[in-house]
Structure 1
Amino acid sequence: MELPLELGEQEGDQGGVEPTLDERFDNFHAVNPWVYEALERLTAQWVVAGGGRIGVKALFEQLRWLSPELANGEPLQLNNNFTSRYARLLRARHPEWCDVFELRRLRAGERDNECSTLDDMDQV
């Protein structure tokens, strides 16, 4: 599987306000759609091969293993804090995968939509 080897730049200063995890994820996902696409391909391969449940962290590790360096020689940086958001996004876009990813409840104040639909901005 070929993966793009560039991570886009993230937005700069938020005016002294620390962005929430959801905001950081939304920004990362918007700038780096290839990460979701790669996770989607890996999940589809897993399901077709007859795999049962799998964690997105395992898929992150496979992604890191498949793409050890970026074009500029820096190691691939994937924030493990985003795995729960990717699991929810994968389940929302692929309801048939609801049994593939087990979700835990998010902390108070964070979105928690189990196996829900997407909103008009393609967000869970």
Structure 2
Amino acid sequence: MSDWMPGPDTEQHGGATDQHGGATEQHGEAAEQDQEADGAAAGSPAPSFDPAPPAPLGVGRTPTGHAGVDARLERLADADHLVADGHTEVYEDVHRGLRDELTALDARPAAPAPAPAHDNRS
């Protein structure tokens, strides 16, 4: 069972037809209205597919205290001056740089362990 009910804008296909099987004038008027609506859309300007101009996001960057990481994060500001298509290159570059910084932290030699306290009991 369907709950669908025709609305006032719904075209009824079971409407009256003339003796030759064609639609009556009521159907013809609806077709004219559709053509007028299409004509109004044709008169409007065509949508633009050009990329939007650059728009800075204005996101603040808080220094981390690690010079290498801060330099990579500052590179994100370059994306503010590029169209959206250019953002991917900047993001990938920053991601690569941050990954390199993390790898460098893992590669550093560990700090020497503290010398055990000598428990001299006499």
Classify the TM-score, shorter chain: under 0.3
TM-score (norm 1): 0.21
Q: Which has the larger radius of gyration?
A: 2
TM-score (norm 2): 0.21
